[in-house]
Structure 1
Amino acid sequence: MHRTVASSECGTASDRHVAVAYSSDDEWAGHLLAFVRAGLRRDEQVRYFVDATDPGRVTRTLAEGGVDALSAVRSGQLVVATADETYLAGSRFDPDAMVGLWHEAVDAAAARGFSGLRAIGEMSWGGRDMVGADRLLEYELRIHREVFERLPLRAWCFYDRRLVPPAELEVLREAHLTALTRPAAAPGEAPVLSVVPLEAVPGFRLVGSAGYENRHVVASVAAALAASPAERVTLDLSALDHLDIGTLAEIVRAGRRSPAVAPLRLLGAPPAVHRLLRLFPELTADLEVAQS
């Protein structure tokens, strides 16, 4: 995998990977028009990957909003395709393949003379019964470092609140450092465990309670840790209320599988974690526990 340095005009990686949640067709149209207009104005290629939306509706909405969508399609500056035709081809989702596809797409846009690439992806497919859908959170966590810190790419992940369960949406949205329309969670909708990429160093921050009831989130964190290409990875536990031995063991195993040169670094580990490490000292061999 090659490395492409993003220009300063693209903003930071955090600014360019954005979660966009909406509750109505009007909200969807507003986000669509703002994003596409900006891309066409900057001579970027714009790609829209639909899932629940009919492709023709995308171009009609743009035309109704004053965008010459047909000309943009004819010139190749605007590409509307289904997720099934692109990164879900074969009825499965593979985060590793998707990371590679982003590199290929940016190179293809540059080869055609565009100043950059921006894309919208409808993420409602994550709720479908398909192979790899359970790896969506892992993917959202990984691409901050593996894609947006390396490529001049801007992408908005579209999450339709009408199609994604509230608790699942909150966890996925927290995996982005930037989100549009991030309201306060309603009672009972806040995620028990969320995970956020760290900005300053490669790694993640766990927030909430990590236990059996959210093992699917823990599995995504472990997969992202194991796949990280960074030489040193940090896991910030300072915002954790609870972490059980199963979660800690899974994190340690993930660190052992990763290609990192340095041991997995635990930052801000609460007293309960220190107690677990004293009870199970075999877990400490592949950890660096930073002093609080």
Structure 2
Amino acid sequence: MHRACPSASGGAAADRHVAVEYSSDDEWAGHLVVFVRAGLGRGEQVQYFADATDPGLVTRTLADRGVDAASAVRRGQLVVTTADETYLAGARFDPDVMTGLWQEAVDAAAAQGFRGLRAIGEMSWGARRIAGAERLLEYELRIHHEVFERLPLTAWCFYDRRLLARDDLEVLAHAHLARWGTGAAPGGGPGLSAAPLTGAPGFRLAGSAGYEGRRVVASAAAALAASPAERVTLDLSVLDHLDIAALADIADAARRRPTGTPVRLVGAPPALHRMVELFPELGEGLEVDGR
């Protein structure tokens, strides 16, 4: 479920990791000011990771709209940098590295006396030829459980509709449990989407897991394989179709899990039960409800 207008302050983990979409510079500025003003008022450190936007424009826009950005920068409460200097600083984008960096950033903000950390990241780099960019969906799926359920962090992922293909944006936005600025995109949602579950660690696939959804399945499988949780659930109850290649990806991910415990599948379609009967090896590492 996607919330249309999450609060700037957040609360539950589902409300603190937000996909924010915009189609104009004015929309971008409005989201920016709401987020930064709330963070400064709450005594949190605010970080902005620019990609397509000049960092100087961020502080100028805040100042033009009544936020004393210069003072916040001087006291270290507002930090404006670029994606290239932060999570893209390595040889390639790596979700494992990023989860550790968030822990370090939260600890550093607390050490400086701030009451928490909030960040905006421009995600337009996902459309560029960057090593590891293909793991962006995996990252968005994983950080709900691995970061936001553990740390006092609020982050808005800025998605500029002018820079990202509609289908790609829809898939990435659906990986968030909260979404702001959602427009009525022609053609509806993606053919296949993946999202984290609320509560117990795990993910939900929705739509058709066939050839066209191969990239989404691969990302969800990678998130399953990497999850540090002892027990992980994959909810297939709103899945219309699952082909054997998708099931093979899920089974392979289950076998690679570091804990060695099986992945629980709930709401598995009848076709999955038939495939596991025909190919028992595909059931290894899976605990299929009703089987």
TM-score category (smaller protein) = over 0.9
Match of 1:64 in 2: 64
- For 1:285 and 1:97, how far apart are their aligned partners in 2? 29
1:159 alignment partner, SS class: strand
Q: Counterpart amino acid of 2:68?
A: D
Offset of 1:66 from its aligned partner?
0.4
- For 1:121 and 1:285, how far apart are their aligned partners in 2? 39
Offset of 1:201 from its aligned partner?
1.0
Match of 2:251 in 1: 252
2:194 alignment partner, SS class: strand
Identity %: 72
Match of 1:166 in 2: 166
Offset of 1:219 from its aligned partner?
1.1
Q: Counterpart amino acid of 1:135?
A: R
Offset of 1:144 from its aligned partner?
0.2
Match of 1:109 in 2: 109
Q: Counterpart amino acid of 1:92?
A: R
Match of 1:215 in 2: 214
TM-score, length-normalised on structure 2? Answer: 0.95
Q: What pairs up with 1:63-142 in 2 under 5 angstroms?
A: 63-90=63-90, 92-142=92-142
1:87 alignment partner, SS class: coil
Q: Counterpart amino acid of 1:204?
A: F
Q: What pairs up with 1:248-287 in 2 under 5 angstroms?
A: 248-287=247-286
- For 2:261 and 2:90, how far apart are their aligned partners in 1? 37
Q: In the alignment, is the contact (CA less than 8 A) between 1:232 and 1:261 conserved in 2?
A: no
Match of 2:28 in 1: 28
Q: In the alignment, is the contact (CA less than 8 A) between 2:103 and 2:151 conserved in 1?
A: yes
> Measured at CA, do residues 22 and 91 of structure 1 come closer, stay the same or move farther in structure 2, by a change above 3 Å?
farther
Offset of 1:216 from its aligned partner?
1.2
Offset of 1:91 from its aligned partner?
5.0
Offset of 1:233 from its aligned partner?
0.6
Offset of 1:274 from its aligned partner?
1.1
Q: In the alignment, is the contact (CA less than 8 A) between 1:233 and 1:260 conserved in 2?
A: no
Q: Counterpart amino acid of 1:207?
A: A
2:258 alignment partner, SS class: coil
1:209 alignment partner, SS class: strand
1:63 alignment partner, SS class: helix
Offset of 1:114 from its aligned partner?
0.3
- For 2:10 and 2:270, how far apart are their aligned partners in 1? 41
Q: Counterpart amino acid of 2:78?
A: L
Offset of 1:195 from its aligned partner?
0.4
Offset of 1:214 from its aligned partner?
2.1
Offset of 1:142 from its aligned partner?
0.3
Structure 1, unmatched stretches of 5+, are 1-8
Q: In the alignment, is the contact (CA less than 8 A) between 1:252 and 1:283 conserved in 2?
A: yes
Q: Counterpart amino acid of 2:52?
A: A
**Size of the alignment, in residue pairs?**
283
Match of 2:13 in 1: 13
Q: Counterpart amino acid of 1:108?
A: A
2:284 alignment partner, SS class: helix
1:190 alignment partner, SS class: coil
Q: In the alignment, is the contact (CA less than 8 A) between 2:255 and 2:284 conserved in 1?
A: no
- For 2:276 and 2:184, how far apart are their aligned partners in 1? 35
TM-score, length-normalised on structure 1? Answer: 0.94
Q: What do you get for the CA RMSD once the two structures are aligned?
A: 1.3
Q: In the alignment, is the contact (CA less than 8 A) between 1:91 and 1:130 conserved in 2?
A: no
Offset of 1:283 from its aligned partner?
1.7
1:18 alignment partner, SS class: strand
Q: In the alignment, is the contact (CA less than 8 A) between 2:251 and 2:284 conserved in 1?
A: no
Matched, 1:199 2:193: no
